[in-house]
Amino acid sequence: MDLNIKRVGTRSVVYVEGDIDLYSSPELRETVLDLFRKRQQEQIIVNLAEVPYIDSSGIASLVEGLQEARKQNRRFVLVGLREGPRHVLELTRLLNVFEIAETEEAVT
């Protein structure tokens, strides 16, 4: 898994490429939580367009990001969900818990 962060105005976009699994999810978790700690006025967008697979540990990392966002009253948006990750979120009944957009441009 590769992570890249791009700051655009008041938002940070985390671009994730590759599978999010037991081995890579701690890096995603730490990246997202670190952004919430350091960038107080931002919304965090996680772009999953290049993620074909996510397991339960990856979902747990995203849930932690969502919990931190809610604690700080900030936005945490998932964009570009492919079929595999979308299906996992449906199975775990979390699809409607997260704010989800098709593209970054759709996040206003």
pLDDT tens-digit profile of 2-57? 999 999 888 999 999 999 999 999 999 999 999 998 877 689 999 999 999 999 99
Whole-number CA gyration radius for the chain = 12
The reported pTM is 0.94
**The pLDDT of residue 41:** 67
**The pLDDT of residue 24:** 96
**The pLDDT of residue 61:** 97
Task: Check pLDDT > 80 for residue 78.
Answer: yes
Q: Is 64 exposed, middle or buried (0-12, 13-18, 19+ CB in 10 A)?
A: middle
Task: Check pLDDT > 80 for residue 63.
Answer: yes
